[in-house]
């Protein structure tokens, strides 16, 4: 099999540019296309120039269908509305779709699951090896420590430009904790506290969101007992950890049947 041709959508964004650089550096993959939204200042420019790696001979386009027709996969870190649209196009083109976009509604999730009947989709709120390993540790810890004895709180901090909260990673870690406890996350999560909240309700999973500066992504899961506290943390120092994970997911998905997979499947941690 030759190199896998990958389209980067949202090519001018923080993750889009990182993905172009990582594809340029990695073996087994090549940049087959670069897509931005209509009106973007990146349109018509060389994708390599946009990402700061020199000329690659791939011009940024606003025509995803034409780009997908010439590719084996698409790497998508954009917006919920764009990812839903791209899922339909990727299913039509029968190519692999890697989705890192966060902040999706349950309606968006349902549309993506429907597209996965025809396309091989890998979707995760965090594509790094470290966070996915952390999720397995959180699940174990939550299972081992009874809700009556240990409260679970999840704290995250991201850069000032991030638009969704809690982060996709915080929700992924919350899901792992809920699975460890054998409870549903939706019913047990406390996503905001403000004013006279009353005492903490046993068995809930709390979230705290911080935003500021250039923080790439910090997450801590705190298991707080009486007289002792366990903190499981991950600190992302560079966006290339997510981009390398996304490329790894695309290569893994290349020979898989249509379906909706996660990074835990890709990394053998499921």
Ligand X SMILES: NC(=O)C1=CN([C@@H]2O[C@H](COP(=O)(O)OP(=O)(O)OC[C@H]3O[C@@H](n4cnc5c(N)ncnc54)[C@H](OP(=O)(O)O)[C@@H]3O)[C@@H](O)[C@H]2O)C=CC1
For residue 101, say whether it is annotated as part of any ligand binding site. yes
Interface positions, 36-65, toward ligand X (CB under 6 A): 36-37, 40
Nearest to 192 by CA among 205, 178, 207, 203: 207
- DSSP reduced 3-state for 67: helix
Q: Judge whether 257 counts as a catalytic residue.
A: no
**What phi, psi does 194 have (nearest 5°)?**
-160, 140
Judged by beta carbon, residue 224 or residue 264, the one nearer ligand X is 264
Interface map 128-167 toward ligand LZUJQKHR (x if CB under 6 A): ------------------------------x---x----x
158 assigned to active site? yes
- 78 counts as binding ligand X under rule CB under 6 A: yes
Of 113-121, 123-131, 173-181, 222-230, the window that binds ligand X (rule: CB under 6 A) is: 123-131
Q: Does 125 bind ligand LZUJQKHR (CB under 6 A)?
A: yes
Residues contacting residue 9 through CB under 8 Å, at least 6 positions apart: 16, 35, 36, 64, 74, 75, 76, 77, 78, 82, 86
Measured distance CA(201)–CA(206) in Å, rounded: 10
Question: Applying CB under 6 A, which of residues 18, 61, 102, 220 lies at the interface with ligand LZUJQKHR?
Answer: 102
Contacts with 206 (C-beta within 8 Å, 6 or more apart), sequence order: 151, 152, 153, 154, 189, 190, 193, 200
203 is in an annotated binding site: no
Site for ligand LZUJQKHR contains 17 (CB under 6 A): no
Per-residue x/- track, 163-182, ligand LZUJQKHR (CB under 6 A):
----xxx-------------
Strand 29-35: give its sheet, edge to edge: 60-61, 29-35, 4-9, 73-76, 96-99, 120-123, 259-261
Contact between 217 and ligand LZUJQKHR per CB under 6 A: yes
Our finding on whether 12 is near ligand X (CB under 6 A) is yes
Q: Least distance in Å: CB of 227 to ligand LZUJQKHR?
A: 32
Pick out residues in 246-265 that bind ligand X (CB under 6 A).
Answer: none
- Between CA 257 and CA 255 the distance in angstroms is 7
Identified binder of ligand X from the candidate list 8, 84, 95, 101, rule CB under 6 A: 101
Q: For the residues of 159-177, what is the DSSP string, one character each?
A: -TT---SS-HHHHHHHHHH
- Catalytic site positions: 158, 162
């Amino acid at each position: 099999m030759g190199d896998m041709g990958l389209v980067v959508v949202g090519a001018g964004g923080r993750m889009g540019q990182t993905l172009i650089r990582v594809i340029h550096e990695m073996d087994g993959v090549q940049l087959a296309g670069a897509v931005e939204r209509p009106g973007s200042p990146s349109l018509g420019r060389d994708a390599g120039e946009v990402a700061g790696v020199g000329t690659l001979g791939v011009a940024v386009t606003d025509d995803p269908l034409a780009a997908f027709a010439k590719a084996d996969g698409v790497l998508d870190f954009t917006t919920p509305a764009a990812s839903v649209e791209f899922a339909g196009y990727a299913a039509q083109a029968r190519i692999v779709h890697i989705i890192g976009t966060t902040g999706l509604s349950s309606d968006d999730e349902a549309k993506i699951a429907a597209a996965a009947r025809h396309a091989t989709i890998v979707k995760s709120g965090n594509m790094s090896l470290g966070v996915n390993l952390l999720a397995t540790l959180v699940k174990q810890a939550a299972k081992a420590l009874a809700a009556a004895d240990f409260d679970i709180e999840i704290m995250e901090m991201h850069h000032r430009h991030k638009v969704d909260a809690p982060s996709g990673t915080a929700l992924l870690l919350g899901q792992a904790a809920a699975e460890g406890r054998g409870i549903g996350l939706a019913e047990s999560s406390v996503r905001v506290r403000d004013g006279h909240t009353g005492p903490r309700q046993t068995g809930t999973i709390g979230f705290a969101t911080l935003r500021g500066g250039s923080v790439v992504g910090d997450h801590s899961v705190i298991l707080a007992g009486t007289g002792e506290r366990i903190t499981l943390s991950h600190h992302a120092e560079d966006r290339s950890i997510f981009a390398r994970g996304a490329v790894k997911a695309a290569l893994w998905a290349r020979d898989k049947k249509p379906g909706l997979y996660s990074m835990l499947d890709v990394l053998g941690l499921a």
